Amino acid sequence: MSALSWILILPLAGALLLAIIRNLQWAGWLNVLISTATFIATLALAFTVVEEGVLLSGLFRVDDFNVYLLVLTAFVGMTTTIFSRPYMQHVCDSGRINHRGMRLYHSMFQTFMFTMLLALSTDNLGVLWVSVEGATLATVLLVSLYRTPEAIEAAWKYFILCGVGISLALFGTVLMYSAAQHVIADPAAGLSWSTLYGVASQLEPSIMSLAFVFLLVGYGTKIGLVPMHQWLPDAHSEGPTPMSAVLSGLLLNVALYAVVRLKMLVDGSLAATASPHLAGNLLMGFGLLSFIVAGLFLHRQRDIKRMFSYSSIEHMGLMTFAFGLGGPLATFGALLHMLVHSLTKSAIFITVGHATHIAGTQSIDHIRGLIRTQPAVGWGLLLGVAAIAGFPPFGVFTSEFLLLTATMQSQPWLTLVLLTGLAVAFAGLFRHLHPMVYGPVPEGQQPVSANMLPVAVHLGLVLWLGLSIPDFLARWLDRATELITGVHLL
């Protein structure tokens, strides 16, 4: 069997198996094992694609753009399961969830991974929609896992907002399909991205731009673009921490990936009309708005996980803006930013999970003196936030620098807005961070058994990417840039 089929079969089989295994010890290890195997399969797939070029087979298409996201998704999935095995055991021992809850967690985690990997590898826009909706369904019960009134409220909000949002995306998909039917003879191929991309210039521009508005609002809900972001801080703060790590690190990326793919189709269709940059301008507007609003909201947060979910909205806004800006430099920067943001943000959520166990609360006001209670967690949080705020020498600095340079080239005035936004977000993060890491240690605060290995690996990778991007990765991203913009950078 090919690597691609393993990537999809492993998590699906894992989901079914983990639903019936009663021994929680085994289930935890099996979860790690399946995710590791999936990661190895994505690596094998990546080698195939690098050597043989685009892989097209039936419903699937793997090229340089999505294969790098596949590897990233499987990698973060793997490190999250390594973290979540002892973490969820701790949650279970403390009585917050029962055995059934644990089984649900393990099974739904793998279902979620399956939907993510399917969404990334499929070539069919309809299957893409089905799997993104499937990701909502897989995670919604996890958000309400703790069964507190807040968790149930967050899950309901998540369900309704994302469900409605994504149904607008289906309307957009239907419109796109109807535009395709005037061009493509075989109706079954009308949702194939590869086929549509080949005939993009013949697709009716008026229908395509109408479709794109629906698609952007739909998938934009999942990216967490303001003003459709309301579900995101709630779902992140009330769900279990491993879930927050994969929601922020992976789900938002996949939704953004979908929007970028669709933008490529719309750009092709609108190229010859009076407004060729309509899709890009829409992305820039939504992205910039999310970036600014989320940066401001960072300042008034009381809940540590809520705060970092606003930070995710801010970064997704920045990436959306960069993809909207277009051009090879901005696109390269955005692709790199997707990578470093996922790694850093999932590392931060893992650290935050340990920090909340140490302090016994998620309230920022009551988390104090982490560095003295448990230096590993304190330093992890400090370095993670330094990385996400864009400090050199971490990789986020590199990608943000590239984005700023690209903005300076094409929209000089917006550089000021971006710099202000970055400064506001930086202040918002550090005013809360400083007392949490250094403040006086509350009485009786004890260290917990923390597994900081995933955090160290993630932050190490981000540091490496900041110091020097390895040649093969740079070429890889460059090929993806060429695929998206038609021009290569290096």
Partner 1 sequence: MSLGELPFLQQLTLVLAAVVLFTSFALLEQARLVAAIHAFAWQGLLVAMVTAIVAASGGYPHLFFSAALTLGLKVLLIPWMLHRLVHRLQLDRHREPLRRPALITMAALALVIFSYWLVLPLVQQELLFTRNIVAVSLAVVLIGLLMMVIRAQAVVQVLGFMSIENGLFLAAVSATGGMPLVVELGVAFDVLVAMVLFGVFFFQISESIDSLDVDRLNSLTERAEEES
Site mask for partner 1 (CB under 8 A), range 300-329, x = bound: xxxx--x-----------------------
Q: Is 202 in the site for partner 1 (CB under 8 A)?
A: no
CA of residue 260 relative to chain centroid, distance:
14
Beta bridge partners of 57: 60
- Measured CA to CA in angstroms, residue 309 lies from 115, 119, 154, 366 at distances of 22, 23, 14, 19
Q: Are 136 and 163 in contact (CB under 8 A)?
A: yes
Q: Out of 17, 50, 97, 141, point to the residue binding partner 1 (CB under 8 A).
A: 141
Q: Is 129 in the site for partner 1 (CB under 8 A)?
A: yes
Q: Hey, is 61 helix, strand or coil?
A: strand
Q: Out of 32, 40, 71, 153, point to the residue binding partner 1 (CB under 8 A).
A: 153
- Rounded CA-CA distance 383/65 in Å is 29
Neighbouring residues of 153: CB distance < 8 A, sequence distance ≥ 6 = 234, 238
Site mask for partner 1 (CB under 8 A), range 228-267, x = bound: ------x--xx-----------------------------
Q: Out of 63, 89, 156, 197, point to the residue binding partner 1 (CB under 8 A).
A: 156
Residue 86 or 163: which CB sits closer to partner 1?
163
Min separation Cβ 323 and partner 1, Å: 25
Among 75-83, 119-127, 283-291, 366-374, the segment contacting partner 1 (CB under 8 A): 119-127
- Rounded CA-CA distance 307/313 in Å is 10
Residue 171 or 438: which CB sits closer to partner 1?
171
Q: Is 431 in the site for partner 1 (CB under 8 A)?
A: no
The number of CA neighbours under 13 Å toward the Cβ of 7 is 30
Q: Is 123 in the site for partner 1 (CB under 8 A)?
A: no
Min separation Cβ 148 and partner 1, Å: 8
Q: Is 44 in the site for partner 1 (CB under 8 A)?
A: no
Bond prior to 227 in cis (omega within 30° of 0): yes
Q: Are 37 and 64 in contact (CB under 8 A)?
A: no
Among 20-28, 61-69, 167-175, 288-296, the segment contacting partner 1 (CB under 8 A): 167-175
Q: Is 60 in the site for partner 1 (CB under 8 A)?
A: no
Q: Is 193 in the site for partner 1 (CB under 8 A)?
A: no
Q: Out of 37, 63, 204, 299, point to the residue binding partner 1 (CB under 8 A).
A: 204
Q: Out of 134, 240, 378, 428, point to the residue binding partner 1 (CB under 8 A).
A: 134
- Rounded CA-CA distance 377/249 in Å is 20
Q: Hey, is 54 helix, strand or coil?
A: coil
Residue 171 or 430: which CB sits closer to partner 1?
171
Q: Copy the structure tokens of residue 325.
A: 């800006």
188: buried, middle or exposed (CB in 10 Å: 19+, 13-18, 0-12)?
exposed
Q: Is 289 in the site for partner 1 (CB under 8 A)?
A: no
User: What are the two backbone dihedrals, phi and then psi, of residue 61, each rounded to the nearest 5 degrees?
Assistant: -145, 125
At residue 34's C-alpha, the angle toward residues 29 and 36, to 5°, is 95
Q: Copy the structure tokens of residue 489.
A: 């950078």
Q: Is 15 in the site for partner 1 (CB under 8 A)?
A: no
Q: Is 481 in the site for partner 1 (CB under 8 A)?
A: no
- Phi-psi category of residue 486: left, alpha or beta, with phi > 0 → left and psi -120 to 50 → alpha: left
Residue 182 or 431: which CB sits closer to partner 1?
182
Q: Is 155 in the site for partner 1 (CB under 8 A)?
A: yes
Q: Are 382 and 367 in contact (CB under 8 A)?
A: no
Contact footprint for partner 1 (CB under 8 A): 59, 124, 126-127, 129-131, 133-134, 137, 140-141, 144, 147, 149-150, 152-157, 159-160, 163-164, 167-168, 170-171, 174-175, 177-178, 181-182, 187-188, 190-191, 204, 206-207, 210, 234, 237-238, 297, 300-303, 306
